Structure 1
Amino acid sequence: MSDHSRNGGSSEAVSRRSLLSGVAAVGGSGLAGIGALAASSRPAAAVDGDPAAFEAGDAPTVTSNDGRIESVYLSPRVTVSWTDFSEGVERVTLSLAVGADAGVDEVYRETLTAAESDATPGDVASVEGSTEGNADAPLDFDAVDGGLAVRFARADATARGDAVTSETLSATDLPGGEAETTTLDVVFRADVAGGGDEATVVRTTTVDVTVENPAGDATAGGEVDVDAA
């Protein structure tokens, strides 16, 4: 195996996760993790749903004679909720980063605001209201306990930075009949602020991207779709 093969116990994997920890670091009143809102009277936030918000399928594989991965597409749908914001929410900043041993690239960073509640800035394809048990709730930034569901436009992660690229993911020297896998860490972060209160929530998952060079004849080229289910 070449350096493209990843091992969860390797020093390279530790380095990658250290970098991602820096991207996703939270502090102060922030909450890190997944699942339901914490039972607390302090302002809090959560990312709802399952990891399918960030990935689709198991171990996406490209079959390619030249060992190249041209694209890795992301199109996440996420739900962010908040509680105990007594004066409502002024802004919600959403960011998503993808990292491998070569480093970390930020794919999305967009801010939604109460002042422009109907806006869909940058890579935001749509935004709707969402509360617990009611996915069709109206979008209400003034709600003490509220939430929003955001769908991002499709983006090629290999075109958003210098770390996760076609070159770093590909294995052009892969012999016939062998395969190599790169594990991509995906980190989603939501920062919620309003009335002097702030809360942060971070969620992570991984996607394995595999290049397989079959023995004998095979088609060349390919793309990996990591579209939200």
Structure 2
Amino acid sequence: MSSHSRDGDARREPTRRSVLGGVAAVAGGGLTGLGAIAASGRPAAAVDGDPAAFEAGDAPTVTSNDGRVESVYLSPAVEVSWADFSEGVERVTLSLAVGSDAGVDEVYRETLTAADPEATPGDVAAVGDVGGSPTDDAPPDFDAVDGGLTARFARADATARGDAVTSEALSAAELSGGETETTTLDVVFRAQVAGGGDEATVVRTTTVDLTVENPAGDATAGGSVGIDAV
């Protein structure tokens, strides 16, 4: 990354931490990572999979002469599991937010319920039982004391879901040839599991660097020129 990075690390880190902290705080004391289910006998939840699921990969680079980032697509597929819900689960709420120094946008927020276990509301493309795939015929067993579900979300453009992580905010039209500019995107995925008066929340966070590169100009010449002098 060149000296033209959008924000120096010294200035960016506090802001990025506040982005993550602000979104995670909505979870109300949620646990981070995969180790949320413990042998404590208390209701707990965990998330597996890749909440970011950026289609361009873990470190997408946009090569553009005008520095334009048109879209940032996501299509996450996750597995949510729960333990020690003695009366089973009534609902599972899944949300995903993407943030940068410019702010935070919520890309997905959907609720799956025991009342309609096969339902695929809103951006949920498919839902299935834990251990299988969202395309399996078996719906999730919300009555299970220890159970889970898999969910796959429809492809969405994060730049079109809010006012912070927009095409304009991510683009770098002022880049000269041969320069790059990087924006760090924070991705926060939250699963909230509730049932029988119990509730457990798990939060998983990750970061993705989105780099815009303006390739250096290159010119070549060939052929011949004939001059006739009299």
- 1:24 Cα shift? 1.3
Q: Which amino acid aligns with 2:23?
A: V
Bigger RCO of structures 1 and 2 (CA < 8 A, at least 6 apart): 1
Count of aligned pairs: 212
Matched-pair contact (CA < 8 Å) for 2:129–2:148? yes
- 1:6 Cα shift? 4.0
Distance, in Å, in 2 between the alignment partners of 1:142 and 1:52 is 25
Matched-pair contact (CA < 8 Å) for 2:52–2:187? no
Unmatched 5+ stretches in structure 1 = 219-229
Cα deviation digits, residues 3-53 of structure 1 (max 9, x gap): x5344x42333113212211112436x43332462222000000023x476
Cα deviation digits, residues 61-93 of structure 1 (max 9, x gap): 111110010000000000000000000000000
3-state DSSP class of the match of 2:211?
Answer: strand
- 1:165 Cα shift? 0.4
Q: CA distance change for structure 1 residues 147 and 76 in 2, over 3 Å: closer, same or farther?
A: same
Matched-pair contact (CA < 8 Å) for 1:102–1:163? yes
- 1:125 Cα shift? 0.1
Aligned partner of 1:163 in structure 2 is 164
Distance, in Å, in 2 between the alignment partners of 1:44 and 1:52 is 19
- 1:171 Cα shift? 0.4
Distance, in Å, in 2 between the alignment partners of 1:138 and 1:118 is 5
Distance, in Å, in 2 between the alignment partners of 1:13 and 1:169 is 18
Q: Does residue 205 of structure 2 align to residue 181 of structure 1?
A: no
Aligned partner of 2:93 in structure 1 is 93
Give runs of ≥4 in structure 1 deviating > 4 Å.
134-138
Aligned partner of 1:38 in structure 2 is 38
Matched-pair contact (CA < 8 Å) for 2:52–2:206? no
Matched-pair contact (CA < 8 Å) for 2:47–2:204? yes
Cα deviation digits, residues 162-185 of structure 1 (max 9, x gap): 000001000000010111111100
Distance, in Å, in 2 between the alignment partners of 1:143 and 1:122 is 25
Identical amino acids, percent of aligned pairs: 76
3-state DSSP class of the match of 1:182?
Answer: strand
Listed as ranges, the matches of 1:131-146 within 5 Å are 131=131, 138-146=139-147
Distance, in Å, in 2 between the alignment partners of 1:193 and 1:178 is 49
Q: Cα RMSD between the aligned structures?
A: 2.0
Aligned partner of 2:10 in structure 1 is 10
Aligned partner of 2:155 in structure 1 is 154
- 1:207 Cα shift? 1.1
Q: Which amino acid aligns with 1:181?
A: T
Distance, in Å, in 2 between the alignment partners of 1:116 and 1:52 is 24
Q: Does residue 210 of structure 2 align to residue 214 of structure 1?
A: no
Aligned partner of 1:193 in structure 2 is 194
Q: Which amino acid aligns with 1:175?
A: S
Matched-pair contact (CA < 8 Å) for 1:35–1:48? no
Q: CA distance change for structure 1 residues 217 and 159 in 2, over 3 Å: closer, same or farther?
A: farther
Distance, in Å, in 2 between the alignment partners of 1:58 and 1:191 is 26
Matched-pair contact (CA < 8 Å) for 1:36–1:48? no
Tell me which structure has the larger Cα radius of gyration.
Answer: 2
Q: Which amino acid aligns with 1:188?
A: F
Unmatched 5+ stretches in structure 2 = 220-230
Q: CA distance change for structure 1 residues 41 and 203 in 2, over 3 Å: closer, same or farther?
A: same
Aligned partner of 1:123 in structure 2 is 123
Aligned partner of 2:226 in structure 1 is none
Distance, in Å, in 1 between the alignment partners of 2:185 and 2:19 is 12
Distance, in Å, in 2 between the alignment partners of 1:169 and 1:125 is 27
Q: TM-score, normalised by structure 1?
A: 0.86
